[in-house]
Amino acid sequence: MRIEIRTATAYETREVGRALAPLLRPADALALTGELGAGKTTFVQGIAKGLGFDGNVVSPTFMLVREYQGRLRIFHVDVYRLERVQDVLDLGLDDATAEGGVLLVEWGDAIEGLLPPDHLVVTLTVPRDDETRSIVFDGVGGSWRIRWEQLERLLEPFGGLGPPGPPGRWGVLV
């Protein structure tokens, strides 16, 4: 299960995050991967907005975990600086999902094995030396399989629904 879309600005990337938010359920986990500056935090800002959190969402790099309350509780984690698996375990990510929160982990691919078996991997890349970003969604597990068509529909305005057709409102199908 894979969807790839492209955005042209940070605003669009936020809008993609916002479009995904209605699909999120208690105990969901998202692994946000991509190099520094790819747009992981920007994407989380959109999710938080879509979940009804009105405040500022900033990088949790120095805080490790930030919590926000929206329709669901949001646990925003950046494990970039953690060098040992134990440091990640110490964060108690299990508690976040056990409490029914939504877990959003930047640099999540490094700890994918520690995430719940069902999770969504969101990979952001910078294909060119400009503001274009590629955003790839990979659903892992049955709970994403049953939501996949819905996700495709939500992302359709961004060009995320195949087969190739006319360009979407913003993105292109790639």
Name which of residues 52 to 111 contact ligand ADP (CB under 6 A): 59, 106
Kindly tell me which of 108 and 147 has the beta carbon lying closer to ligand ADP: 108
Q: Which does 13 bind (CB under 5 to 8 A by kind): Mg ion, ligand ADP, none?
A: ligand ADP
Interacting residue with ligand ADP among 5, 13, 60, 139 (CB under 6 A): 13
The DSSP element (H or E) to which 155 belongs, if any, is helix 148-155
User: With contact defined as beta carbons under 8 Å apart, do 7 and 35 qualify?
Assistant: no
Kindly tell me which of 80 and 148 has the beta carbon lying closer to ligand ADP: 80
Q: What contacts 121, CB < 8 A, 6 or more positions away?
A: 30, 31, 33, 108, 109, 112, 136, 137, 138, 140
Residue with tokens 């120095």: 62
Name which of residues 73 to 132 contact Mg ion (CB under 5 A): 106
| Strand-pair partners of 32 | 106, 122
Closest CA to 29 of 136, 138, 104, 109: 104
Interacting residue with ligand ADP among 17, 19, 40, 154 (CB under 6 A): 40
Name which of residues 32 to 51 contact Mg ion (CB under 5 A): 40-41
Q: Which does 9 bind (CB under 5 to 8 A by kind): Mg ion, ligand ADP, none?
A: ligand ADP
Q: Which does 38 bind (CB under 5 to 8 A by kind): Mg ion, ligand ADP, none?
A: ligand ADP
Q: Distance from first CA to last CA of the chain, Å, rounded?
A: 15
d(C-alpha 137, C-alpha 12), whole Å: 16
133 makes contact with ligand ADP (CB under 6 A): yes
Q: Point out which residues bind ligand ADP (CB under 6 A).
A: 7, 9-10, 12-13, 34, 36-42, 59, 106, 131, 133
